Amino acid sequence: MRIAIAGATGTVGRHVLAEALKRGHEVVEISRSKGVDVAKLEGLADALKGVDAVIDVTGPSSASVAKAIEYFRTSSSNLLQAGKQAGVRHHVTLSIVGIDKIASGYYAAKLAQEAVVEKSDVPWSILRATQFHEFASQMVGQLSFGPFAMVPKARTQPIAASEVGQALIDLAEKGPGGRVPDLAGPQIEDLGDMARRYLKAINSSKKVFAATLPGKFFKGLRDGLILPEPGATLGKQTYAEWLVGLRN
């Protein structure tokens, strides 16, 4: 198959790309660093010429919720419109488990993206996955103050981005499936604990402070609203195993 991967250079996109190539698919890499901006319609239909399936794993660069909503609405509409024009038969989007239970902050933007895809004429699949194993390290990167790192109190069931990449290629090969079963990692973890174990693995002496942050979004994280429901597909690699890979 010829598969376009929008966001091919990202945290999960790199794994989607590696898996597609491993299985012998022809790949079109889409990202601004590869010269294609999905926030703009011009040039997209050309990039999607001859493509059977588009996998969208892009994400906004801005932390602003309003900008994220605008980004996901525009980028998904553009990919779908250009895809239709180019004869794409399947649009696959990666979303996040529990977004409808929190429906606030960044998750409101992901819901807006899902709504655009669900209304599309191009047959689609939406896979909701839990946070990647990289989640705690990303939080530490964003909220570090000198010798301290702050993370919100949260429970998550993190998944290997490589396994999400494999699941997305499985979906592209299988054909349009609508909302498919959620994908989660094998074990529930405490985010503060994940951050401490990550810092230990990289030999950092930073101390982690798990904070009770205000607002509906952070309350949802504490209350376990981003955990998968029974019936979700579970990945294999644990967070502990991912950390071992990080040390090697």
Ligand X SMILES: NC(=O)c1ccc[n+]([C@@H]2O[C@H](COP(=O)([O-])OP(=O)(O)OC[C@H]3O[C@@H](n4cnc5c(N)ncnc54)[C@H](OP(=O)(O)O)[C@@H]3O)[C@@H](O)[C@H]2O)c1
Q: Rank residues 32 and 174 by Cβ distance to ligand X and give the closer one.
A: 32
Q: Is 217 in the site for ligand X (CB under 6 A)?
A: no
Listed ranges 10-18, 187-195, 202-210, 228-236: which one lies at the site for ligand X (CB under 6 A): 10-18
Helices 13-22, 161-174: axis angle to 10 degrees equals 50
C-alpha 20, offset from chain centre? 17
Task: State the Cα torsion 84-116-114-88 to the nearest 10°.
Answer: 0
Give min distance, CB of 133 to ligand X, in A.
Answer: 9
Distance (Å) of CA 174 to CA 41, 93, 98, 168, 181 = 28, 14, 25, 10, 14
Among 53, 54, 88, 132, interactor with ligand X by CB under 6 A: 132
Q: Rank residues 58 and 157 by Cβ distance to ligand X and give the closer one.
A: 58
The Cα 60–Cα 104 span in angstroms is 16
Q: Rank residues 36 and 225 by Cβ distance to ligand X and give the closer one.
A: 36
The Cα 74–Cα 68 span in angstroms is 10
Q: Is 129 in the site for ligand X (CB under 6 A)?
A: yes
The Cα 146–Cα 33 span in angstroms is 32
Q: Rank residues 88 and 129 by Cβ distance to ligand X and give the closer one.
A: 129
Q: Rank residues 205 and 245 by Cβ distance to ligand X and give the closer one.
A: 245
What residue type is 58 in one-letter code? T
Give min distance, CB of 146 to ligand X, in A.
Answer: 26
Residues of this chain that interact with ligand X (CB under 6 A) are 6-13, 30-33, 36-39, 57-59, 61, 94, 96, 110, 129, 131-132, 135
